Amino acid sequence: MKQTAVVTAGTAGIGLETALGLAEAGLAVTVVGRNAERGARAVERINATAPAHSARFLAADLASLDAVRVLAGRIAADGPLTVLVNNVGAMFADRQDSIDGIEATFAVNHLSPYLLTELLLPALRAGAPSRIVNVTSGAVAVAKRDFDAVEPPGGYYGFHWYGRAKLAHLAHTLELAGRLDGTGVSVLAADPGGAATDMTNGTMTDPKIVSPGLRLLWPLVRRKFERSTSGPASLAAKSSIFAATDGSLAGRTGVVIGPRAQPVVPFRAATDPRTAEAVRRLSEHLAPVAPA
């Protein structure tokens, strides 16, 4: 059976490097992004490596839950799916709502991959042994751990809200791994560490993204960001590629792969069942699998 992979936000940055790695491993890769020209360039780049199967681009704005539903329908129509890499992620300097009227950081980093995964579970079950790889971030460490509502109490600070949405998604990842245990669908998280990409070269240069306390130390904080995100995206993609393809992970689930492309201990707050439960409630309410 042909092995297939979908990489969201796969037309640039860490996602494109991940797609290249999966194509090299013999999977038929679909990359998802908004911009069709970028998508065509990504497909050209992947196909230039003479993969076993040609790559394909599907357009979708993953900030829109309707677009996620349409995308899932198109992918599911192809039949069994072997690998889903939920690589999409975004950080915003200013608070903004998604097209669905949901705070955009939470929508893009958690709700969108949450919904895409839920909708693709039948295809992933049909493709078992299959893997879901959710891309996480070290920013989970600076997150507020309050998931009673989409937005945490207090002011908007893009980096911290990004970390909180990534924490929600990591808690969901570990909970889903438990839920799917024994189905042949493994659920893993991959932390790329850092890389110089659109995201790190853009929003992460704006002092507004950190809390006022850290803003006072901005030159130091900025230097730390620069140091940790100066590497190439090809290196940062190794954790996702390992999670998606490495034979040593066969039959394993609920594993977090760290920046050195090796299993690491999950960030403790993400293993708290109360966090997972609060995130589940919020997700089912905001992004129902079967819309009313």
Ligand X SMILES: NC(=O)c1ccc[n+]([C@@H]2O[C@H](COP(=O)([O-])OP(=O)(O)OC[C@H]3O[C@@H](n4cnc5c(N)ncnc54)[C@H](OP(=O)(O)O)[C@@H]3O)[C@@H](O)[C@H]2O)c1
List interacting residues with ligand X (CB under 6 A).
9, 11-15, 33-35, 38, 60-63, 87-90, 108, 135, 137, 192, 194-195, 197-200, 229, 233
Nearest one of 43, 24, 30, 33 to 4, comparing CA atoms: 30
Compare residues 34 and 125 and give the one whose CB is closer to ligand X.
Answer: 34
CA dihedral 176, 290, 292, 6 (to 10 degrees): 90
- Cα gap 281→272, rounded to integer Å: 15
Compare residues 156 and 184 and give the one whose CB is closer to ligand X.
Answer: 156
- Cα gap 178→187, rounded to integer Å: 9
Minimum distance of ligand X from residue 184's CB (angstroms) = 25
CB 105 within 8 A of CB 165: yes
Minimum distance of ligand X from residue 104's CB (angstroms) = 9
- Cα gap 106→88, rounded to integer Å: 12
Compare residues 201 and 281 and give the one whose CB is closer to ligand X.
Answer: 201
Minimum distance of ligand X from residue 176's CB (angstroms) = 17
Minimum distance of ligand X from residue 252's CB (angstroms) = 22
Q: Which pair of structure tokens corresponds to residue 288?
A: 């129902």
Compare residues 28 and 233 and give the one whose CB is closer to ligand X.
Answer: 233
Compare residues 56 and 125 and give the one whose CB is closer to ligand X.
Answer: 56
Q: Which pair of structure tokens corresponds to residue 127?
A: 């493709």
Beta bridge partners of 103: 97
First to last CA, the chain: 36
Minimum distance of ligand X from residue 34's CB (angstroms) = 4
Beta bridge partners of 130: 185
Compare residues 113 and 250 and give the one whose CB is closer to ligand X.
Answer: 113
Question: How many angstroms from the chain centroid is the CA of residue 220?
Answer: 28
Nearest one of 39, 26, 124 to 83, comparing CA atoms: 124
- Cα gap 255→251, rounded to integer Å: 11
Q: Is 114 a catalytic residue?
A: no
Minimum distance of ligand X from residue 254's CB (angstroms) = 19
Crossing angle of the two packed helices 13-24 and 238-245, in degrees rounded to 10: 40
Active site residues: 162
